[in-house]
Amino acid sequence: MVIDDGSSDETSYRARAAGASVLELSMNLGVGGALQSGFNFALRHNYEAVVQIDADGQHPADEINNLVDQANATGADLVLGSRFLADSPSMYVSITRRFAMGILKAVASQACRTQISDSSSGFRLIRNPLLSHFAKSFPSHYLGDTFEALVISGRRRYKIVEIPASIADRKHGQSSASSKVAILLIFRALIVTTFGLHFQLPKKVVGGAD
């Protein structure tokens, strides 16, 4: 499923020509809104889980089954693909951004009660009941769909598991924020999670019930 977030190029046409199903949004909703639209589509068609993957060439499509296998093996609600656990060379990350990501990693690890090495990775599997909650409420701002969603899920006792993923440098498009702006937005995300200014997520009940 390709989510075409109100693009003005040939995204929808090329995706359909390549054999993909396309969810074409009438206006640009941003990454959070686009993902939430995809989550709702999955629930309407009775999918148990979704795999979130970018279209810029960074995420390894041939490793999707690794996420699925890990979810089935561990019963995890969210499986995260980490560029920092992979044997292959990781994508380039500047020193400044790596420092900020280190802070995010520490916060995410504490929230998830397990070691997290790549809290901003968008390569992930999300399954019910967490998927149904994200379909109802999901952050739309920078890092909301990755770091913030991860932290809140961990704090609400959803099971998070991280595995290696050979994420590469971007092959298409460009980042939505420059390095300086990204650093400011990272600290914004920290403030949001520190003071609880985030979207609400029901706590997972022991036994998997909502």
Q: How much is the pLDDT for 125?
A: 98
Q: How much is the pLDDT for 79?
A: 98
Q: How much is the pLDDT for 188?
A: 78
> pLDDT at residue 31 above 60?
yes
CA-based nearest residue to 42, from 158, 133, 144:
133
Residues listed for the chain? 210
Distance CA 143, CA 191 (A): 12
CATH 3.90.550.10 domain span(s) along the chain: 48-194
Q: Does domain 48-194 have CATH number 3.90.550.10?
A: yes
Q: Which residue has the tokens 């309407």?
A: 44
Q: How much is the pLDDT for 56?
A: 80
What stretch of H or E contains 52? Answer: strand 49-52
pTM: 0.84
C-alpha gyration radius of the chain: 16
Q: How much is the pLDDT for 208?
A: 47
- Tens of pLDDT along 40-75? 999 999 999 999 998 788 889 999 999 999 999 999
Distance CA 101, CA 192 (A): 16
The average pLDDT across 148-163 equals 95
Q: Which is more confidently placed, 154 or 90?
A: 154
Mean pLDDT lowest among 74-83, 126-135, 149-158, 165-174: 165-174
Q: How much is the pLDDT for 210?
A: 45
Distance CA 124, CA 103 (A): 20
Strand order from edge to edge, sheet including 78-82:
49-52, 124-127, 78-82, 160-164
Q: How much is the pLDDT for 209?
A: 44
Q: Which is more confidently placed, 154 or 102?
A: 154
> pLDDT at residue 207 above 60?
no
Q: How much is the pLDDT for 193?
A: 81
Q: Which residues pair with 126 in a beta bridge?
A: 50, 78
Q: Which is more confidently placed, 163 or 208?
A: 163
Q: What average pLDDT does the chain have? A: 86
